[in-house]
Structure 1
Amino acid sequence: MPENGVVLKQGKVIAMSAGIAVLNKPISYEITCTDKMPLAKNTELEYVKSDGSKITVKIGDRTGTLSIVDIILIPALSELDRSYYEVVNSKLVFKIYSHTNGSFEGENVIGVAPDFMKADTKYFSTDGITFTTRDGKKVGKAYNYYQFLPLRTKTAYTAKEIDAYIARELKDREAKGSSGDTETYGYGAVLGSKEVGMNVKYAADTNWGAKAAAHYYAFEKESGFKDAKQNYKIGFTNDSDYLYLRVRIGPSTSFDELYNYKRFNLPVLVYGEENGWYKITSDKLHDKAVYIRGDYITLQETTK
């Protein structure tokens, strides 16, 4: 197919050279032969290819096949609106588009923009990690601190400070006549996206993790960025060939295994190193440090 090519059937796009696929109904998207994740109506997926009836799509690194009747194909260079990210005053703003309502649902400021992004430019992502231009050209990867910070970190705020902020926000929303909706499922104890974290299976809304991160960032901005200043180190398990990655109670193989990770690319909070082993916060109830061999963890810089 030529660049920017489109195939129509009875006025409907059934194949194209590049673009996105938008769900027109909720579905269960197969992750493995034994596991699925929910995806809501209006979810935007990366288009891969089409045979006219079956559409191959991606969300993050997960490739799947959907029926043409369940989606709407939007060519990359189409002037139709879609969700996008932009830089405003050095901050990363996520604007979410509802294809059902034909309008944007508001702005979510989720933190400081990555260095590779420029103002007055729209960026696109189906997983909140890998960003592209509208025509699908990749421009960079970034992990937002508030979206991928492990939830087992200790906050610098008191319960009183958090409750006070929530009360102010609820009062403000009620005054505007609006209200908000009030197990990690094995994909990592971070808010995340459909690539990694609670958002993989906890919420059908692909943008749930980004929306929650926007609330966290707004609270931090008002309260002095105390959590951002703690300089937590975030790592990801990195060996796809090493199933059942062992987490031990000490920094060598002579120590007992406490639990294991059955998937790779899972986020962990790293707060020390001993003898080539990273000291991490346990994802299983345990009141002491646990350890993973250093070569099985990749430290990841984040944007705040």
Structure 2
Amino acid sequence: MFKKILGLVLAGSITLSIAVPQTFANDISNHQMKTELTYWANKGVILPDSKGNYNPNKMVTRGEFASYIARALELPTSTKYKFSDVKGSQLIREVQAAAGAGILSGYPDGTFRPNDKITRQQMAGMLYNALRYLDVPLEESAINFKDKDRIYYSFTKGVATSVHYDIIRGDSSFKDGIYFKPKDSATIGHAAAFLYRMYFKAEELKDNPVVDPEPPVVKPPVVTPPAVDTSFYVATISKGNITKNSTKYSSFEQANSAYGSSYNLVYQGDKIVKMSSGLAYAAKTTAKTTSVYATKDFKNQISYAAEGEEFKYIGTGINDNNQIYVIVKIADAVGYAKLADVTLVPTSLIEDQNDYSVSNGILSHKVYNQLTKKAGRYDVGPAPSFMVPGVKYYSHDGVHFYNSSNQLVGTYYPYFQFASVRQPSNYTADELNAIINSELAKRQAMGGDYVNATSTSKLIGLGPVMKEMEEKYHVNALFILAAAIHESNFGMSDKAHKINNLFGIAVYDHDVANAGTKYDSPADSVRAFVNNVLNVGYIPQGNYKAQGAVPGNKTTGINVNYASDPYWGAKIAGHMYRIDTANGNKEYGKGRLAMIVNNQYAVNVRTEPYVGATTLSYSYKVKNLGESGEFGYPVVIVDETTGTDGYIWYKVYSDAKAPADYVWVRSDNVNVLPGY
């Protein structure tokens, strides 16, 4: 049964044969989309301008299309989302209503960008979410457009559903096939037609639902939840024993004024909100992740982490909106988290935590989840000389290591974690295939989930396509293989076998029911990972997600925005190191690693080692360098020269998508990493 009654939305008895009124606005009467435009005009969904015209050939914006959906579906008012750039009471209500219904979302910087022209793939995504909101049974078709690789991965399900139900059609005017044109804009007339088709397709699906019969509903007894204590208290902790003062405070400020003299904890109800020392971790939330923001009012997300993952606790405060924030460090970046999204653990109550140790010359990292109380371990790479066996070391960023007395003992940048993925691999396609076969044979010998891995893994035979992606699109083939191994459990995961998805593309922590994007073959998944994910959002400068072309951590590199696992980049690098060590060390240490540092101004890189009007290639935008000031944009230096300006210039692999393989950057903007 439907959770929402579509009949309340599609008021009255509607059939697909709609009586078109006889009175039209001047610019609708002869338009190709006359029926659809008139229907929505009469419903008050598409509104006229001051002259009574509807401007059907005008490009529609994100804000306008969101408003159309909100009016068409009569969405309830919501205050769940607020966008900093949405102005005007009616637009605010409609955009927030659509966001609250899960039909749209904004950008990580807190904006919605309502005046941007909406693209065809964005429209497909919103219409798909609208169908999901209406709770109708949905199907999707395979995407076979000639330009399917240009469809951004988060919109693939929307496009596939629109294609299946003939809501948004492709362009068949090309001789070589049908194109979807995902990034093209659309007119108000197009918007009317797409919304019209979705609207009545929903009615058709409602009348013919494909659902399993449900058992009789047994209403549980009404239980009144106990009142939540929101008062503040102060407490002391000594040797693991907490003594809570019975005095109640009505505000954090009042309790905080008593903190520090005789008390070293502040509570709100039963939740610790401030402490003298300890760790914080990502709490259990509906989003399944905890965001860390650049500002106290929770604007401009820096990064995020999955439930149970650790942060360094720095302090607690309250912002101008009377919201309590917790200051944390994720990797090396300091930011602000919402109180509800973190849990604080005082030092003397810590049962276990992440640590690093050395065995047989190899540095390994134990990762302990504070929620599940389970630990895992992976190899990072060769241990640096300042570490000795039998000692535990601690680090939030995997670079700066401390002893149990919280003293810095050394800095170490694991090579593969901070080496540019633009640097080509020294392994051939045949060698990559041999590596895959060897890795699968080792796994198969373990038994369990890896039985028949050598014959059933979805990684088998992918060496050539990985090498092809490297040669054509400048993403290291060994990195691609390591990412596939990590994300697909050596090609044996359910998503690898059922939908050929080797990289968890379009799989989100907060939406466990979403199976991810389905691909016709594992090779198509590899192509999508390179062309639709990395080379669209995570590597080329100019995109907000681009924090450096390396696996990295939560302060720099692909890991900042790609995965909720703070150690995703380190684990990928660990796979690369393990594979390379077993196959002749063809890549480890072959590049000279450095960071472009720019916390105050953009850094220009050039096609030649001098400043000139024609030499500019692209710019590295200003970024958060972390608490240490060291985490800029990682690059690999391949050459250097003295320019005509007297400066040393470094030749580095280009982060741009195309066309140059190399660019030049002046040395005063570059820090060469220690050890390289």
Identify which of 601, 619, 633 aligns with 1:266.
633
CA separation of 1:74/1:163 partners in 2, compared to 1, >3 Å: closer, same or farther? Answer: farther
Candidates 39, 45, 53, aligned match of 2:311: 45
- Structure 1 position 249, deviation (Å): 0.9
Quote the residue 1:222 is aligned against.
Answer: 582
Rounded to whole Å, the distance in 2 between the matches of 1:76 and 1:146 is: 33
> Among the aligned pairs, what percent are the same residue?
31
Check the 8 A contact 1:40/1:205 in 2, yes or no.
yes
Match of 2:649 among 253, 277, 285: 277
Deviates more, 1:36-45 or 1:48-57: 48-57
- Separation of aligned partners in 2, 1:101 and 1:40: 12
How far the C-alpha of 1:38 sits from its partner, in A, is 3.2
What is the alpha-carbon root mean square deviation over aligned residues?
Answer: 2.6
Q: What secondary structure does 2:566 align onto?
A: coil
Does the aligned pair in 1 maintain the 2:308–2:372 contact within 8 Å? no
Q: Cα 1:159–1:78, aligned 2, differ >3 Å: closer, same or farther?
A: farther
**1:263 & 1:176 partners in 2: Cα distance?**
48
Report if aligned partners of 2:577, 2:588 keep a CA contact under 8 Å in 1: no
Give the whole-Å Cα distance in 1 for the aligned partners of 2:345 and 2:404.
11
For residues 266 and 407 of structure 2, the distance between their equivalents in structure 1, rounded to whole angstroms, comes to 21
Within-5 A mapping of 1:1-304: 1=260, 6=265, 12-25=271-284, 26-31=289-294, 33-51=299-317, 53-105=324-376, 107-173=377-443, 175-177=447-449, 180=489, 182=502, 183=534, 184=538, 185-228=545-588, 230=590, 232-243=591-602, 245-254=603-612, 255-264=614-623, 265-275=632-642, 276-284=648-656, 285-302=658-675
For the residue of structure 2 that corresponds to 1:38, the secondary structure is strand
Deviation of the 1:69 alpha carbon: 2.9
Offset from partner CA, 1:133-158 (integer Å, 9 cap, x none): 34533322221001111101122222
Q: Give the counterpart letter for 2:652 in structure 1.
A: I
Q: Which residue of 1 aligns with 2:151?
A: none
The DSSP-based 3-state class of the residue aligned with 2:449 is coil
Aligned partners of 1:31 and 1:45: how far apart in 2? 15
Deviation at 1:46, TM superposition (A): 0.7
SS in 2 for 1:201: helix
SS in 2 for 1:109: strand
Q: CA–CA distance in 2 between the matches of 1:299 and 1:71? A: 36
Q: Which amino acid aligns with 2:402?
A: T
Distance 2:572 2:340 in 1: 31
Amino acid at match of 1:39: A
CA contact (8 A) 1:77 1:134 kept: no
| SS of structure 2 residue aligned to 1:177 | helix
Q: CA deviation at 1:109?
A: 0.9
TM-score with structure 1 length normalisation? 0.88
Q: CA deviation at 1:79?
A: 4.6
- Specify whether residues 302 and 176 from structure 1 end up closer, same or farther in structure 2 by C-alpha distance, changes over 3 A only: farther
Conserved in 2, the CA contact under 8 Å of 1:76 and 1:136? no
Any unmatched runs of 5+ in structure 1? Answer: none
User: Does the Cα contact within 8 Å between 2:420 and 2:653 map onto a contact in 1?
Assistant: no
Distance 1:141 1:123 in 2: 12
Equivalent residues, number: 299
Q: In terms of mean alpha carbon deviation, does 166-175 or 149-158 score higher?
A: 166-175
Question: 1:135/1:289 Cα in 2 relative to 1: closer, same or farther (>3 Å)?
Answer: same
Residues 1:130 and 1:76: Cα distance change in structure 2 (over 3 Å): farther
Tell me how far apart the structure 2 counterparts of residues 218 and 64 of structure 1 sit (CA, whole Å).
34
Cα separation, 2, equivalents of 1:160 and 1:130: 38
- Whole-angstrom distance in 2 between the partners of 1:88 and 1:216: 19
For 2:585, give the aligned amino acid: F
> Within 2, Cα distance between the matches of 1:170 and 1:213?
19
Deviations along 1:244-301, one digit per CA (max 9) or x if unpaired, are x111111111352011110351011111111111111111123453211111111113
**Which structure is higher in RCO with an 8 Å CA cutoff and minimum separation 6?**
1
Q: 1:69 to 1:34 in 2, by over 3 A?
A: closer
Encode CA deviations 1:160-214: one digit per residue, 9 max, x unaligned: 2223223333454452326626432310000000011000001111011111111
Contact 1:131–1:139, Cα closer than 8 Å, also in 2? yes
What TM-score, normalized to structure 2? 0.41
Question: What is the identity, as a one-letter code, of the residue corresponding to 2:666?
Answer: R
CA gap 1:148/1:138 in 2 versus in 1, 3 angstroms = same
1:40-89 superposed Cα distances (whole Å, 9 cap, x missing partner): 11221110012595321112342222233322222335451111111112
Deviation at 1:302, TM superposition (A): 4.8
Deviates most, 282-291 or 130-139: 130-139
Q: CA deviation at 1:102?
A: 1.3
State the alpha-carbon separation in 2 of the partners of residues 23 and 288 from structure 1: 40
* 1:207-255 CA distance string (max 9 Å, x none): 111111111111012112111252x101101232222x11111111135
Looking at structure 1, the residues matched to 402 and 569 of structure 2 have their Cα atoms a distance apart, in angstroms, of: 19
The offset of 1:10, in angstroms, is: 6.0
Return the index of the structure with the highest Cα Rg.
2
CA distance, structure 1, for counterparts of residue 420 and residue 347 of structure 2: 34
Check whether the contact 1:74–1:80 (CA below 8 A) recurs between aligned residues: no
